[in-house]
Every structure is written in structure tokens, then in C-alpha cells.
Structure 1
Amino acid sequence: MLKQEQAVLDAVLSNLFGYHLLQVGRPNSQDLTRSSRITHRMELDLDPDTKVETPGGVERCIAEHHQLPMLSDSLDLVLLPHALELSAEPHQVLREVERTLIPEGHVVILGFNPLSLWGIRRLVTGWRGRVPWCCQCYTPTRVKDWLALLGFDTVAVRGYFFRPPFSHQGLMERLQFVERAGGRGSLMLAGGYALVAKKRVTTLTPIRPRWRPRRALVANGLAKPSVNNSR
């Protein structure tokens, strides 16, 4: 799953440009933003005591996911690798993303699909409290609706990893054909999805007044008031 997520991000981030990139959360030790052409990259972490080796050129920030320590309209790209699922306030996380992104800035969201085989395993083993099975997952359609309310346009949604969530390496290799078949199928069968959305620009369009000749107060063929006649 991690390998496929990285491959999807490599393809997506290489086509998004800007000056400032923020990654909210770090679910693994990989450099998820390695393919980005944005030079100033930052990672947001929750625990200040955790010793994390950030890649070269990447700044580490300590803050809550729903309280981004960034100025409004200052970021070009925000990456949320499963940040919505690991947050107790996913709506507020998206509000903060909308606040900090510049107009036409992009957000890239990685999520687990609750309607797939991964979602079924979550229902069966979620009570054990192990990540990611204990996380609250959201469908791509639901996330798209949230983003639309905040003024985002969904650019693309891509599903990945169509195999069942097994840990046996030999079995997973034998199930490689499922990836080829699933890639041509429905997004709902994918274990994970990557959603790209762009912050909509709201502009005021001046409307020129439509001048019309003043309508006569008295219809033709009727007698005019005597006062007007005298004038």
C-alpha cells in the first residue's frame, strides 16, 4: 500500500507548482513529497518529543492539524496523507486548509476507502484499536462534498491498491492480477484513493447598467393633464 501511495504521489505532485508546500501528518518514514518541484517544503507533526529525521530541505513544524500555524493565503499546496482519518476534527482541518491556501492553490488528500475490502476489515478488527483499522474512514464522495462547501473544485480522484489487506508476501504477489483488473474498474473497489482539489477563486464581475428609455406615464391616445399642457 505504501509503495502504491508513493507512486501515485510521485505522479500527482510533479505536476503541481508553487513556492510553499505543507504536509500535514507523517504516517510513515518515507519522503512523500520527494517528487514535488516546490523548493520550500514543510512537515507538520503533533508530538514534539518524537525524534524524526526529516529529508534534506524539509522543515519540521509542531502544531495541531486543525490549527495550522500558517498565515492565510500563504500556501500553494497542502498534502493530507490520511490526516482526516487520524483527526478528531476533520471538518476543521479542511477549513484550515482552505484558509491557508492561496487562490487556485491545491490540496492532495490520501484516504482509505471504507467501501472496499479494507473497510470490511476495519469493521471486523477495528475494536482492537490498531491503526489504520481503528480510524474513521470517509468515502471520496463525502470528502468531495465537504470540499465543495468550502469552495473547492475537485480536479481528479484516483484509486489504488485493489488487493485485499493481507500481510502474506507470497499471497500478495500472486494477487498482482487483481491490480490490473481493478485499475479498469470502479473507484469503490480501491483500498485507497488520492483526491486532488483546487481552491476556487471568487471574483466580482462588474455588470454594466442597462439603460432604457423612461416609459411614458400616460398611455398614448389618452388626454394629457392640463398642467403639462400649460407648461
Structure 2
Amino acid sequence: MKPAKTNREIIAPENWSELPMGDWLAMEIQHKLDEWCQFMFGYHLLKLGPLSSQLSCSTSTIRHQCALGTEGASLGMIADVGELPIRSGSVDACLLAHTLDFSNDPHQILREVERVLTPDGWIIISGFNPYSLVGLGKLLPHLRRRLPWSAQMFSPERVLDWLHLLGFEVVHLEGFAYSALSRRSRIHCWRENTARRCGYRFASTYMLAARKRTLPLTRIREVAWLKRPVMVGGMARLKNQTRTQR
């Protein structure tokens, strides 16, 4: 397995239209966001990356929503997603729409997200699956410099392991887009509905929702009767001492 951190140049899109069937992908992710954003509560929601900034989380009750990235037209903050200029434990939800795929160090991004999230905070991630028809395109040299095959593409199981190590609890995972995303054919809808029965393992795109779980390190109070001595003087005599006295 290749390491997640890389020094090679990764071609990242600034708009969904730069991806094959990008408008359809954005519509599918937006539909799933409308379902899951209803469970997000709090005060601050952070969207990381240019693709995340173009998605709406209007169904959430979180009113302050800010997009962050290095470049893009609809960003509220210009900063590195691997070094968030945000106070620890101050964000209630984070959206990473294919942010890990087009990153040189996805571990650092997840560590920063875990740092800024509040306890029980939400993280929503979407990405390309390398074990799919889209992932097979990375085997062709002439496609590796084109979108979306220039992405790193981490499998859902690998991302799940990273989240579990950081203390996240995954509450939802599903896959969609079972084609090569080259073009939309007439049987596209029929193929999607049929292939969804196979689960997320061979889907070209997956989406998951997880929550940060923090165990409280509070000291257990001592019960009053535990402080009393177990034995009081005069209650018992040593056996050897009794025999000598006799």
C-alpha cells in the first residue's frame, strides 16, 4: 500500500464542471447533504476546499457557514487546509468534498479537522474509490495527468481506519456512481439503480458521515465510607499472640 503523503504535483479542480460528469456528481452529493445536514446542530460549519465551497448546507440549523481553501471564487477564508487558522474545539461540522483525494497530506488534514471540531462534532467526506471503474483508469499512463485520475483516491476502508484512529464514530457510508464517469449514457439511471444493491465497495464515489467521540477524563469521586479504615483496633487479636499468652 502506497503512503498517503506524497510530494508529487496533484492537479486539483477548482470547479465541479472540470470533472467528468461533475455537475451530476455535485447534484448527487448535494442530495445526500440535504438529508444529513438536518442532523447537524451548533454555531459554526466549515467547508474545506473549492469543491466543498460550492455545495449548500442550507438544511442544517447552523447559520454561520464558511468556506476555506487556498484558491477559489466562493471562499470566505484563504488558508492552507492542512494548517487551519481556527481555535481548537470551536467548529461543529466540517465538509470535505473530495478534499482528501486532491491533497498531498490527507493525514494532516484529518488531524486538523479533529482538532478544531467540538466533541460530537460532525465530519462529512466524499471521495473517489480506487477499486472501481474510475480507479482502473489510473493504470493508464495517459490518464494520470487528467481529472479525476490525477487524484490519489483512497478506499473507503482506508479512510475508515484513519477516522477510527482519531476517535471518530462512522454513522453512515454509501456509494454511488458505478460507471467510469466518462460520459452519461442512456442506461445510466438503470445501471445506478441496479448496482446500488452491491453496496459501496465497487462504487466510483463514496460518501460517509462520522462524529467525533471524546471520552471525558473526569476524576471519580471517592465515596465517604471508603475513607473509613477497614479494621479498628481491638476488634481482633493475632493467633500466635493468643497461643503465647496461654
Query: What is the number of residues matched between the two proteins?
Result: 215
**Residues 1:70 and 2:83 are matched in the alignment:** no
2: distance between equivalents of 1:39 and 1:12?
Answer: 16
Q: Tell me the CA shift for residue 195 of structure 1.
A: 1.1
Q: Tell me the CA shift for residue 153 of structure 1.
A: 1.0
Q: What is the TM-score with the length of structure 2 in the denominator?
A: 0.77
Choose which of 138, 142, 161 in structure 2 pairs with 1:145. 161
Distance 1:221 1:17, change over 3 A: closer
Q: What letter corresponds to residue 194 of structure 2 in structure 1? A: A
Which string of whole-angstrom CA distances, capped at 9 and with x for unpartnered residues, describes residues 40-69 of structure 1? 00001212xx5x1x3xxxx61000010011
Counting only pairs closer than 5 Å after superposition, residues 1-231 of structure 1 correspond to structure 2 as 1-27=25-51, 30-47=54-71, 50=72, 52=73, 54=74, 60-124=76-140, 127-167=143-183, 169=184, 171=185, 173-204=186-217, 206=220, 208=222, 211=226, 213=230, 222-224=239-241
Q: Tell me the CA shift for residue 208 of structure 1.
A: 4.6
1: distance between equivalents of 2:52 and 2:140?
Answer: 24
Gaps of 5+ in 2: 1-24
Q: Tell me the CA shift for residue 125 of structure 1.
A: 5.1
1: distance between equivalents of 2:177 and 2:40?
Answer: 23
- The percent identity for this pair of structures is 36
Q: Tell me the CA shift for residue 126 of structure 1.
A: 6.5
Distance 1:63 1:126, change over 3 A: farther
2: distance between equivalents of 1:146 and 1:140?
Answer: 10
2: distance between equivalents of 1:83 and 1:23?
Answer: 10
Q: What letter corresponds to residue 70 of structure 2 in structure 1? A: L
Q: What letter corresponds to residue 143 of structure 1 in structure 2? A: V
Q: What is the TM-score with the length of structure 1 in the denominator?
A: 0.82
Distance 1:15 1:126, change over 3 A: farther
Q: Tell me the CA shift for residue 128 of structure 1.
A: 4.0
Distance 1:12 1:129, change over 3 A: same
